[in-house]
């Protein structure tokens, strides 16, 4: 089974080399599509060097929101399954091997395990959303869909600025597909390096959660207020909540492009 690995990038010159080094050693057959949202740094030049060396790496350039570029990459893909990974994440050497084994067991959607690395003070547990007994809030990185499923449910919703991965998981579950959690499929995620990056991430997380609420209002019944506060009971946790609220409010006031 050919698996296409999609790597969305924008100004990732500090991360893309390490990411690709971990991907080119994955079990074949694979296709790696790097979809660049019009980077202004050296990202494209770095990818082009890998493209010349490895025939299974392809670089495409597509501006716009993340959903626009991701859907474009899906259209260009040749694999029967699509695995998503961030440019600032690094796959374990046997990541695709374990994903492929799970797909051979006829699982629809594979959610791998994300192991966190970086400064512990910036480590904050995500607020999970359970829908029809599935944790649909698993990060988009280290998620693998059969291509036919992505085509049937219409790919990513182009209105989302962020949280498009949660929306995709929800719609897949609504279409009676099942999420399978494969702990052996490991990707390493790196925490934000400073408070500014944390605040920026928190703002957009809040914005995306409001977009989800505007589209799927019933999701609020799936949140646990107790879990939210318990997982943010620290200085950086409170910062995350505060800027998440700012993002949420900004989306509410602006309409979030969901009308």
pLDDT in tens, 194-212: 666 767 777 867 778 788 8
* pLDDT in the model for residue 230: 52
Other beta carbons within 10 angstroms of residue 142's beta carbon come to: 27
pLDDT tens for 56-85 read 999 999 988 889 999 999 999 999 999 999
Q: For residue 52, which phi and psi values (nearest 5 degrees)? A: -70, -30
Answer yes or no: is pLDDT of 241 > 90.
no
As a whole number of angstroms, the distance between CA 220 and CA 51 comes to 44
Q: What is the pLDDT of residues 132-188, one digit of tens each?
A: 889 998 888 999 999 999 999 999 999 998 889 999 999 999 999 999 999 999 999
Lowest-confidence range among 36-40, 194-198, 243-247, 250-254? 194-198
- The alpha carbon of 179 is separated from its chain's Cα centroid by a whole number of angstroms, namely 15
Report how far residue 254's alpha carbon sits from residue 222's, in angstroms, rounded to the nearest whole number.
25
Q: Tell me the pTM.
A: 0.87
- Domain spans, the chain: 3-192
| Dihedral over alpha carbons 233, 236, 242, 243 (to 10 degrees) | -150
Q: Averaging pLDDT over each range in 50-64, 121-135, 220-234, which range is the top one?
A: 50-64
Write down the pLDDT at residue 216.
85
The whole-number pLDDT of residue 122 equals: 46
Termini Cα distance of the chain? 40
Q: Which tokens in the block code for residue 27?
A: 């079990």
Which pLDDT band holds residue 246 (cuts at 50, 70, 90)? Answer: confident
So what's the pLDDT on residue 233? 54
- pLDDT (average), residues 211-221: 76
Give the model's pLDDT for residue 121. 46
Higher-confidence residue: 218 or 104?
104
Strands 81-84 and 143-146: antiparallel
Residue 258 three-state SS = coil
Q: Which pLDDT band holds residue 116 (cuts at 50, 70, 90)?
A: confident
User: Exposed (0-12), middle (13-18) or buried (19+): which is 34, by Cβ within 10 Å?
Assistant: buried
What is the token pair recorded at 195? 């408070």
Distance between CA atoms of 75 and 73, rounded to whole angstroms?
Answer: 5
Residues 3-192: name the CATH superfamily.
Answer: Spore Coat Polysaccharide Biosynthesis Protein SpsA; Chain A (3.90.550.10)
Q: Which strand ranges, in their side-by-side order, compose the sheet holding 81-84?
A: 57-61, 30-36, 3-9, 81-84, 143-146, 109-117, 179-190, 89-91
Q: Region 216-221: what's the mean pLDDT?
A: 68
Q: What is the pLDDT of residue 235?
A: 65
Mean of pLDDT over the chain:
87
Q: Output the pLDDT for position 107.
A: 94
Rounded Cα distance between 224 and 246, Å, is 20
Radius of gyration, CA atoms only, the chain = 18
Residue 242, burial from CB neighbour count under 10 angstroms (0-12, 13-18, 19+): middle
Please give the share of the chain, as a percent, with pLDDT higher than 90: 59
Q: Please choose, from the candidates 213, 207, 196, 191, the residue with its C-alpha nearest in 3D space to the C-alpha of residue 244.
A: 207
Q: Which of 78, 87, 80 is nearest to 34 (CA)?
A: 87
Indicate the pLDDT class of residue 125, thresholds 50, 70 and 90: low
């Amino acid at each position: 089974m050919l698996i296409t690995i999609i790597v969305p990038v924008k100004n990732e010159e500090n991360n893309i080399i390490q990411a690709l080094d971990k991907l080119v050693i994955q079990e074949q057959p694979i296709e790696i599509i790097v979809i660049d949202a019009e980077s202004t740094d050296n990202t494209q030049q770095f990818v082009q060097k890998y493209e010349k060396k490895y025939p299974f790496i392809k670089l495409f350039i597509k501006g716009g929101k993340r959903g626009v570029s991701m859907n474009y990459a899906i259209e260009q893909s040749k694999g029967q399954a699509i695995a998503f990974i961030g440019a600032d994440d690094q796959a374990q050497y046997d990541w695709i091997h374990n994903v492929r084994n799970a797909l051979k067991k006829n699982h629809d959607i594979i959610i791998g395990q994300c192991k966190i690395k970086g400064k512990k003070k910036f480590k904050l547990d995500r607020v999970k959303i359970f829908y029809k007994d599935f944790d649909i809030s698993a990060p988009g990185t280290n998620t693998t869909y059969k291509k036919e499923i992505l085509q049937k449910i219409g790919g990513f919703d182009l209105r989302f600025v962020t949280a498009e991965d949660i929306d995709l998981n929800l719609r897949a579950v609504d279409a009676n597909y099942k999420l399978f959690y494969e702990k052996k499929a490991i990707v390493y995620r790196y925490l934000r390096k400073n408070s500014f990056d944390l605040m920026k991430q928190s703002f957009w997380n809040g914005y995306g959660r409001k977009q989800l609420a505007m589209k799927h209002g019933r999701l609020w019944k799936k949140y646990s207020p107790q879990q939210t506060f318990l997982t943010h009971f620290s200085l950086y946790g409170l910062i995350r909540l505060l800027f998440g609220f700012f993002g949420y409010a900004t989306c509410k006031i602006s309409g979030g492009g969901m009308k």
